[in-house]
Amino acid sequence: MIGTPRTDSSAAPVMGAGTPVPGGLTPVPADHGSAAPVTSSPSQPPSLVGMVLSNRYRLIRKLGEGGMGSVYLAEHTTINKKLAIKILSDEYAKKQDLVDRFLQEARAASMIEQENVVEITDFGETPGGSVFFVMEFLNGEDLSKTIKKTAPLPWHRVKPIMLQICAALTAAHDVGIIHR
């Protein structure tokens, strides 16, 4: 994701996240790969927008959709902080092994403390019986879109991106996580 670089080092996790580069790339929550363009989905209807989860997270808009669910921009209703919330699709929420896998993803990601990896801060259940986890929200442009727009990227842009990806993967490997 291209945007404002993070200045703190209190980061933590999300496997599949983008990585920051000078001039702006920041981590982005992802579903083990790049999120698909936002469209209506039978597994996550647009009616989730406006819903309040766990009495504190208001869903503002859908940011993207991936293999296991959707990611929403949300706001903490008490402190007005913007967050990203990944919700397991209703279809997958009916399968306990996939719910367990989703929880394991959140737990594993929350173990990684590295500035190029977004922080996971909470886990919960939706009123409809699905599950979600809460991540820090980083505003910016998707790296894959930037590459498509300006490919090939010059080496002076590629090198810092690759170094940051390697740093994030190293941090994951250091806590026993292998990114697929």
pLDDT of residue 100: 96
pLDDT of residue 45: 53
Q: How far is CA 63 from CA 39, 60, 86, 87, 148, in A?
A: 10, 9, 10, 11, 19
Sort 133 into a burial class: Cβ within 10 Å, 0-12 / 13-18 / 19+.
Answer: buried
Residues in the chain predicted with pLDDT less than 50, given as ranges, are: 1-44
Please check whether residue 69 is in contact with residue 87, taking contact to mean a CB–CB distance below 8 angstroms.
yes
Task: Please give the model's pTM, rounded to 2 decimal places.
Answer: 0.72
Domain boundaries, the chain: 2-174
The pair of three-digit structure tokens given for residue 91, joined into one six-digit string: 């279809």
Cα end-to-end distance, the chain, whole Å = 19
- Which of 63, 55, 67 minimizes the C-alpha distance to 137? 63
Class of the CATH domain delimited by 2-174:
alpha beta
pLDDT of residue 180: 74
Rounded Cα gap, residues 54 and 74, in angstroms:
12
> b or e along 78-105 (b: 16 or more beta carbons within 10 Å of the residue's beta carbon)?
eeeeebbbbbbbbebbeeeebbeebeeb
